Amino acid sequence: MKKLQYLVAGGAGFIGSHLCEELLKLGHRVICMDNFLTGTPSNIERLRNHAGFKLIEHNIVETIRAADPVDYILNLASPASPIDYAKHGIHTMKVGSIGTLNLLGLAREKKAKFLLASTSEVYGDPEIHPQREDYWGNVNPIGPRSVYDEAKRFAEALTVVYAKTHGVDTRIVRIFNTYGPRMRLEDGRAIPAFISQSIRGEEVTVFGDGTQTRSFCYVDDLVRGILKLCETEFHEPVNLGNPNEMTLDELAKAVIRLTGSKSKIVHRPLPQDDPRRRKPDISRAKKVLSWEPKVKFEDGLRTTIEWFRSVIKPAKFVGH
């Protein structure tokens, strides 16, 4: 197999760090670019001494200069949780627009292939189920989630028009809910929140009545799909996710059971524009990539819980 040089923007993030690690295992060279706004230095600590790894601390909204040759550019740079993009709304939109434009420009300069990590959030609160790539979505353009949803929709449009105008070899992956080790503890998403609360013996907070659904893909399966997409000549968006749908109440109960916690589930009001259902149609991924998830949900969840146990401690009860 030919050894290539990959630039992974957002390489210190949850998914980005797993991608960097897998690429190095395959013998490729990796340039990790991250400004650590939401990425975590500890995610790539084990990679820093690897001969094929290079870290560039940089904000992709600013002009990007890279002296090294680059074969692939993977754009995973963006705040990706509701807490993060609510806090960094303008930056999220800049990353999706200016940042994507800068990376596409670099791909053109280096004659590199380009992959955009988009999201299932481009479908908004979907009116069709499951979600196919030809569905245009149901997005509130001025709602609290719009800074992320519309940034990714714009990034997709920019990627497509840049490819048509300048001939850059592009790919687009729409990532559905993904979980695994290295998720940030306080990023506000369901799995890290439920696991953290359960381990600490706190109430497990479910927003809404708990009947809204999600589909969770283990990070190893996702990384495998992304790398398969890199190897193809397919240029339209491809959904990657696990089509096994569950309610958030079912997820909370599974986490409590697997952690051995005595935590109770409590319900809080559902945030505005929170999707009621989320499930990928992965027919295209099966056909084009010969890809589908392999890791069973509970197996992945057990591994994730063990990682969380290694980084947090249960709360101690102080008597009076």
Residue 165 has pLDDT above 80, yes or no: yes
Q: Which of 15, 5, 13 is nearest to 178 (CA)?
A: 15
Dihedrals φ, ψ of 202, to 5°?
-90, 170
**Interval 96-131: pLDDT, tens:** 999 999 999 999 999 999 999 999 999 999 999 999
Characterize 185-216 residue by residue with b for buried, 16 or more Cβ atoms within 10 angstroms of its Cβ, and e for exposed: eebebbbbbbbbbbbbebebebbbebebbbbb
What is the model's pLDDT at position 320? 42
CA 213 to chain centre: 18
Beta bridge partners of 53: 30
- Indicate the DSSP class of residue 38: S
Which whole number is the average pLDDT over 203-224?
A: 94
Q: Which of 43, 49, 34, 10 is nearest to 184 (CA)?
A: 43
What is the model's pLDDT at position 288? 98
pLDDT band at 317 (very low <50, low <70, confident <90, very high): very low
Task: Give me the helix-helix angle, 190-199 and 297-311, nearest 10°.
Answer: 60
What is the model's pLDDT at position 223? 98
Show which residues are catalytic: 148
**d(C-alpha 91, C-alpha 62), whole Å:** 12
One-letter amino acid identity for 176? F
- Close Cβ partners of 195 (under 8 Å, ≥ 6 residues apart): 255, 259, 304, 305, 308
Superfamily of domain 5-179+217-240: NAD(P)-binding Rossmann-like Domain (3.40.50.720)
**Interval 271-316: pLDDT, tens:** 776 778 889 999 999 999 999 999 999 999 999 999 999 998 655 5
Contact 11, 19 (CB under 8 A): yes
Q: Which of 300, 299, 280, 301 is nearest to 291 (CA)?
A: 280
3-state secondary structure 175-238: ECCEECCCCCCCCCCHHHHHHHHHHCCCCEEEECCCCCEEECEEHHHHHHHHHHHHHCCCCCCE
**d(C-alpha 306, C-alpha 287), whole Å:** 34
Helix (H, G, I), strand (E, B) or coil at 94: helix
What is the model's pLDDT at position 187? 82
**Whole-Å CA distances, 203 to 81, 110, 191, 268:** 21, 51, 14, 11
Residue 255 has pLDDT above 60, yes or no: yes
Which whole number is the average pLDDT over 170-197?
A: 94
Sequence spans of domains, the chain: 5-179+217-240
**d(C-alpha 242, C-alpha 252), whole Å:** 18
- Indicate the DSSP class of residue 269: P
One-letter amino acid identity for 241? G
